[in-house]
Amino acid sequence: MAQAFPDPGREVRLPGAVLHRTGEAYDLLAAGVGPASAAASVSAALTAAALAGTPYALVVSAGIAGGFAPGAPVGSLVVADEITAADLGAETPDGFLPVTELGFGAVTHRPPSALVRQVTDATGARPGTVLTVSTVTGTAERAAALRERHPGALAEAMEGFGVAEAAAAHGTPVLEIRAVSNPVGPRDRTAWRIGDALAALTAAFGKLGPVLESWHPYDQ
């Protein structure tokens, strides 16, 4: 994906995060794997920018993902219209309860709908819920349970909700774009197509410049 930015940028070191400040209007951040790492590093970047008086206008979480069949085949692109933490809650004898039903927290963030539509139009990405999980799904049973609980889910990944929580704390809009590298379901390493997914993500970012640069938060 970073290959979509011809200028590798200058490194800016922050506690828990290294930014690549491109000559264009973007900073790139490898936010780590999992929601906690992603939240910590994005939070460091947002806080540093706010203290410098140059807050970010938008945070984009991007990477590879597992795709739910048949909506998100391997190689396809998904843009989140909802970013949902799928395993943040409590297991009970009657099933899973999200933290919101326990009386606290949040489990969903919604990217600006106009921006989601523009990304869809520019890249062909399919809009849908992107789940954030801490454990990669590895069985048909778990995939079916997630689908039942989240009928709008197209993909699962491991960072989006952490990024969205950090962005929300700063009042900054968030977007999540994923390229599908593997199906969600029984573990099968021979089915992974990471190279193809990264190529699809790079191509998408090549088309996103005008969309991101012309978007204004009041376009919600």
Ligand X SMILES: O=C(O)c1cccc(C(=O)CC[C@H]2O[C@@H](n3cnc4c(=O)[nH]cnc43)[C@H](O)[C@@H]2O)c1
Does residue number 80 form part of the binding site for ligand X (CB under 6 A)? no
Distances (CA, A) of 150 to 54, 102, 163, 186, 207: 37, 18, 20, 18, 30
Q: Interface residues for ligand X in 23-62 (CB under 6 A)?
A: 33
The Cα 186–Cα 31 span in angstroms is 27
Give yes or no for a contact between 47 and 16, defined as CB atoms under 8 angstroms apart: no
Does residue number 76 form part of the binding site for ligand X (CB under 6 A)? no
Q: Interface residues for ligand X in 132-191 (CB under 6 A)?
A: 133, 136-138, 156-159, 181-182, 184, 187
Shortest separation between residue 161's beta carbon and ligand X, angstroms: 11
Does residue number 128 form part of the binding site for ligand X (CB under 6 A)? no
The Cα 83–Cα 177 span in angstroms is 10
User: How many binding residues for ligand X (CB under 6 A)?
Assistant: 17
The Cα 57–Cα 220 span in angstroms is 13
Shortest separation between residue 162's beta carbon and ligand X, angstroms: 10
Residue with nearest beta carbon to ligand X:
66
Residue 149 in tokens = 């609980």
Does residue number 66 form part of the binding site for ligand X (CB under 6 A)? yes
Does residue number 64 form part of the binding site for ligand X (CB under 6 A)? yes
Residue 153 in tokens = 């889910």
Shortest separation between residue 25's beta carbon and ligand X, angstroms: 25
